[in-house]
Amino acid sequence: EDELEIAGVRFSSRLFLGTGKYEDMETMREALERSGTEMVTVAVRYMDLSGERSILQELDLSRYRLLPNTAGATTAEQAVKMARLAREATGTNWVKLEVIGDQKTLWPDTGATVEATKELVAEDFVVLPYTSTDLVAAIRLEEAGAATVMPLASPIGSGQGMPDWASISRIVERITVPVVVDAGLGVPSDAAFAMELGADAVLVNTAIARAGNPPQMAEAMKLGVRAGRLAYLAGRMPVSRYAVPSSPTRGVPAASES
Amino acid sequence: EDELEIAGVRFSSRLFLGTGKYEDMETMREALERSGTEMVTVAVRYMDLSGERSILQELDLSRYRLLPNTAGATTAEQAVKMARLAREATGTNWVKLEVIGDQKTLWPDTGATVEATKELVAEDFVVLPYTSTDLVAAIRLEEAGAATVMPLASPIGSGQGMPDWASISRIVERITVPVVVDAGLGVPSDAAFAMELGADAVLVNTAIARAGNPPQMAEAMKLGVRAGRLAYLAGRMPVSRYAVPSSPTRGVPAASES
Amino acid sequence: EDELEIAGVRFSSRLFLGTGKYEDMETMREALERSGTEMVTVAVRYMDLSGERSILQELDLSRYRLLPNTAGATTAEQAVKMARLAREATGTNWVKLEVIGDQKTLWPDTGATVEATKELVAEDFVVLPYTSTDLVAAIRLEEAGAATVMPLASPIGSGQGMPDWASISRIVERITVPVVVDAGLGVPSDAAFAMELGADAVLVNTAIARAGNPPQMAEAMKLGVRAGRLAYLAGRMPVSRYAVPSSPTRGVPAASES
Amino acid sequence: EDELEIAGVRFSSRLFLGTGKYEDMETMREALERSGTEMVTVAVRYMDLSGERSILQELDLSRYRLLPNTAGATTAEQAVKMARLAREATGTNWVKLEVIGDQKTLWPDTGATVEATKELVAEDFVVLPYTSTDLVAAIRLEEAGAATVMPLASPIGSGQGMPDWASISRIVERITVPVVVDAGLGVPSDAAFAMELGADAVLVNTAIARAGNPPQMAEAMKLGVRAGRLAYLAGRMPVSRYAVPSSPTRGVPAASES
């Protein structure tokens, strides 16, 4: 089967979901359900690690692998601490590593992210770092032991799609671990496009949570990801500058000559 | 249900397929099957209207509505004759009207297409005209009685996708009959994008027939069309210039403040 | 010299200007001056053909060739009448022909434009028709005797640039008379791009009249048009998928090897 | 006057030129002349630092400020050594810092570039670092004391233009020192576009050296840069979704109403 493998774990679904920004928990649960996802990310800051009504209790963790994320960290140290807290509280050693270097754009600080990746890998974490479209940063993350590389398509929550797709394509060509396109995807065609370029998976949050009908958009994203993946495996037609007739130029002459 | 209606006929699938360019009939049949299509177009020139081994005998016309097309016509007169021949031979009064004005790009002659539409509508044909992205040509076709308007995404068989999507969007906003994006779509993300813009259906031929694995690409296109349609119905997230955090900025402070 | 010739008249400047939307006449005159233009278009509707303070009296017609335009016409008949009025009032047989088919987008009605072109050519007008990016419409206009073809870059006054540049490129390749890109250009890079594709000239109005500083933008447009034209004549570098070093890979080894 | 200031030095021209890839020295000299540039970059590896027929002897250094570059360096150490060699040999403490992290794309290693910047700034160099479009890398370079930030438009020598212009725009908004767009620009419209976004200057090499007529393209680039700069200062028109008439809707009714 066409499964995705990350750190020895196999996934049938190539769509990962975030859990932020939903109007209510019921809508979130329904969206997760219809998306077919097998992994969801939750901000460590959003887990009420000591208390009662945590988002963690809203998730059926027998169905979804939990991927804590370090949203809100602005230094390697903060991110590392968040990852440790999450491991203690939830038992998972997986972490989506985010170290933000600019608040207006939520652009990642790739230098600090590489540093935190090294530290966390040394502590036996499975690290899935959020990064920019910078090729060499992606290479450094892979060298640091990242389990995947997760370049952004455009700023988090912006829905701008993937304007710098050429850089994503360069990363896909060069990186050996799975490439997960994260952030900025707005519609299923964006997700399909990422998969057609050869991305191994995508992570979507706002595009679903802030859609008019989140569960329906979740299903749309599921289909878009599958469409793009199937197309990648099938092999696309060549692009040509001019037209190429669909119909043979030979054929029954009676019609056109009469 | 979310069905498409053209001239009183209802379709569950919003993906129409062409039948040209397949390596063999078996591959074509399998691609049709996996695409879930309910309407296929066949060039009148490619029907051996008198003979034996016609492509028509290869198609299970109990499953697919037949849409003869006038590929190869360069004048309104030729196209009208082809449509009549097709009606006599196959019994259907539906026709995909193509009148080409330039051979290198297979660009439609919209003036001649409007003229042929009027003539064929007067003869009780159900006319689905292939046209350019020109807004006023689309309006004239609708005024002439076209059952749909079928603007090109890019030159036939080119696989360039839909660079002039802004014009497609203008047509979708303005035209009342179904808009079917036809020609030039190369990958499922192109098809999804067309549907997200509000197109009612898409027609695909070369992107499937010339894919590495046509039946698999046919399924990918089916999923892409559904993804785009569902997203359109669900309502997409707003696009913003800067980032919008997925995670709340409040939250457990212990982690990020420690 | 690299001059543009239209109907036997030679122009050194490949930038034509409109006269609408300026805050005042003084700003307009200064913008015309700094643009270096040699031809300006004035709406027939805006000429006070009987009266006193006409825009025509504001223009130094010894310096600029006057190009009356039929803005506001929605039928071939109206446009033809406007052209005749303009000829009577101003003495010029040149006309920028506009026949609009949709008010929201000011999209041209190419069918009516072809018809009016034929009529006006028969009456010895020099016809410069505004058209869409539709290739076959451009061909029909040339066949009808148009002195230039003037495809839009995007809707009039929208400043969206030239998203459907591929269609402009197809028109440039196929049409023999000068191609003047008209409408929608917003910045000098848009104008340069049109010229680099092989357009023979551009017409700009709103991008100058509605700039913060119209005379300065007029000069910027002049430079952009010249830049694009020179680049077209010089011949651009080839585009490559990967990087190509600017510096030789050989060279003094001392530095990099030490 | 509208001058650019870098490290206290003022430039009238906002176009910097490279010296690689020219067919011969005469063509290079003529291109420099017609470009109006005031600063040229030369690869340290290409300077024959000990010998006779160095490229340095081909340049009239009374007219152009020399900007040695560290092309070929793949580590911070190599780049620092090259900068020192260049200073010893030429007397200038300015350096265009390049540290490449991937040979196929010549993508910069931003981490190593930040490191080398710190080192060179500490040694009193004026450092103009080549970088990617990564926003936080640009911020780190500025913090490290870079005199400018020089993000790439696309891979060196590729001529792909500036597809990730949104990232360049983010850098321009956020960075205080001059932003010089470097690498990948292919035509004057690319250069104009960079300037319109607010870049302070551009650096061009291959687009001129590999044009059909390099001196003519050099002049085209000069005009493109000026056009873009003037437009930026003038303030562009607003972009609108629909059309906005250039001509007043009122006006002489006789023509259009008759």
pLDDT band for D54, please (50, 70, 90 cuts): confident
Pairing of strands D107-108, D100-102: antiparallel
Q: What is the residue type of C59?
A: L
Kindly state the average pLDDT of the residues B116-133.
98
Mean pLDDT of chain D: 91
D96: annotated active-site residue: yes
Q: Which residue of C has its CA nearest to D103?
A: C243
Cβ–Cβ gap B234/A217 under 8 Å: yes
- Count of the separate structural domains present in chain A: 1
Q: Tell whether C251 is covered by a domain.
A: no
Residue C30: the pLDDT is 96
B-chain residues within 8 Å CB-CB of A132? none
Q: Which residue of C has its CA nearest to D213?
A: C234
Kindly state the average pLDDT of the residues D33-43.
96
Cβ–Cβ gap C111/B114 under 8 Å: yes
Q: Which residue of B has its CA nearest to A194?
A: B189
Show contacts of A127-131: CB within 8 Å, 24+ apart: A127/A95, A127/A97, A128/A6, A128/A67, A128/A94, A128/A95, A128/A96, A128/A97, A128/A180, A129/A96, A129/A97, A129/A98, A130/A69, A130/A96, A130/A97, A130/A98, A130/A182, A130/A183
Question: To 5 degrees, how large is the angle CA B87–CA B92–CA B97?
Answer: 70
Cβ–Cβ gap C221/D242 under 8 Å: no
Residue B122: the pLDDT is 98
Cβ–Cβ gap C164/B167 under 8 Å: yes
Walking along chain A (258 residues) 10 residues at a time, the average pLDDT comes out as 94 96 92 97 79 73 93 95 92 96 94 98 98 98 98 91 92 97 95 96 96 97 98 92 64 34
C143 Cβ neighbours under 8 A, 6+ residues apart = none
Q: Tell whether D224 is covered by a domain.
A: yes
Q: A190, A98, A206, A110: which is closest to A158 by C-alpha? A: A206
Residue D53: the pLDDT is 58
Which one-letter DSSP state was computed for residue A164?
A: T
Give the one of D48, D159, D188 whose C-beta lies nearest to C227's C-beta. D188
Cβ–Cβ gap C134/B135 under 8 Å: no
Distance, in angstroms, between C34 CA and closest chain D CA? Answer: 12
Show contacts of B249-252: CB within 8 Å, 24+ apart: B249/A72, B251/A43, B251/A45, B251/A46, B251/A72, B252/A44, B252/A45, B252/A46, B252/A47, B252/A48, B252/A49, B252/A50
Report residues of chain C scoring pLDDT below 70: 48-53, 246-258
Domain range for A205:
4-237
- Counting one residue from chain B and one from chain C, the pairs whose CB atoms sit within 8 A come to 84
Distance, in angstroms, between A9 CA and closest chain D CA? Answer: 30
Taking the C-alpha atoms of residue A108 and residue D228, their distance in angstroms, rounded to an integer, is 31
pLDDT band for B89, please (50, 70, 90 cuts): confident
A-chain residues within 8 Å CB-CB of B205? 246
Q: Which residue of D has its CA nearest to A114?
A: D111
Q: How many CA atoms lie within 13 A of B151 on its CB side?
A: 31
Cβ–Cβ gap A135/D110 under 8 Å: no
Name the active-site residue from C81, C96, C118, C222.
Answer: C96
- Counting one residue from chain A and one from chain D, the pairs whose CB atoms sit within 8 A come to 84
Residue C249: the pLDDT is 45
Taking the C-alpha atoms of residue D246 and residue D244, their distance in angstroms, rounded to an integer, is 6
Q: Which residue of B has its CA nearest to A257?
A: B78
Q: What is the residue type of D98?
A: E
Cβ–Cβ gap B105/C163 under 8 Å: no
With a threshold of 0.95, tell me whether the complex ipTM lies above it.
Answer: no
Q: Which residue of C has its CA nearest to D254?
A: C45
Distance, in angstroms, between A44 CA and closest chain D CA? Answer: 23
Q: Tell whether A255 is covered by a domain.
A: no
Whether residue B228 is predicted with pLDDT greater than 70 in this model: the reply is yes
Q: Tell whether C35 is covered by a domain.
A: yes
Q: B176, A176, C158, C64: which is closest to D239 by C-alpha? A: C158
Q: Tell whether D250 is covered by a domain.
A: no
Query: Any CB–CB contact under 8 A between C53 and chain D?
Result: no
Q: What is the residue type of C149?
A: V
D-chain residues within 8 Å CB-CB of C205? 246
Give the one of B104, B110, B166 whose C-beta lies nearest to C137's C-beta. B110
Kindly state the average pLDDT of the residues B129-137.
98
Neighbours of A232 (CB within 10 A): 21
Cβ–Cβ gap A134/D107 under 8 Å: yes
CATH number for the domain that contains residue A219: 3.20.20.70
Residue D151: the pLDDT is 98
Residue A49: the pLDDT is 60
A-chain residues within 8 Å CB-CB of D130? none
D-chain residues within 8 Å CB-CB of C187? 192-193, 196, 228, 231, 236
Residue C255: the pLDDT is 32
Kindly state the average pLDDT of the residues B69-87.
95
Interface of A with B in 116-175 (CB under 8 A): 155-160
Residues B69, B92: contact at Cβ < 8 Å?
Answer: no
Cβ–Cβ gap D192/C238 under 8 Å: no
pLDDT tens-place string over residues D135-179: 999 999 999 999 999 999 999 888 899 999 999 999 999 999 999
Q: Tell whether C128 is covered by a domain.
A: yes
Name the active-site residue from A21, A81, A96, A118.
Answer: A96
Q: Tell whether A252 is covered by a domain.
A: no
Name the 3-class secondary structure at D171. helix
Q: Tell whether D12 is covered by a domain.
A: yes
Distance, in angstroms, between C51 CA and closest chain D CA? Answer: 10
pLDDT tens-place string over residues D62-108: 899 999 999 999 999 999 999 999 999 889 999 999 999 999 899 99
Give the one of C18, C246, C252 whose C-beta lies nearest to D20's C-beta. C246
Taking the C-alpha atoms of residue B39 and residue B17, their distance in angstroms, rounded to an integer, is 7
A61 Cβ neighbours under 8 A, 6+ residues apart = none
Residue C257: the pLDDT is 34
Cβ–Cβ gap D20/C248 under 8 Å: yes
Residue A258: the pLDDT is 31
Q: B108, B87, B88, B107: which is closest to B97 by C-alpha? A: B108
Cβ–Cβ gap C133/B137 under 8 Å: no
Q: Which residue of B has its CA nearest to A50?
A: B252
Cβ–Cβ gap D134/A135 under 8 Å: no
Name the 3-class secondary structure at D96. strand
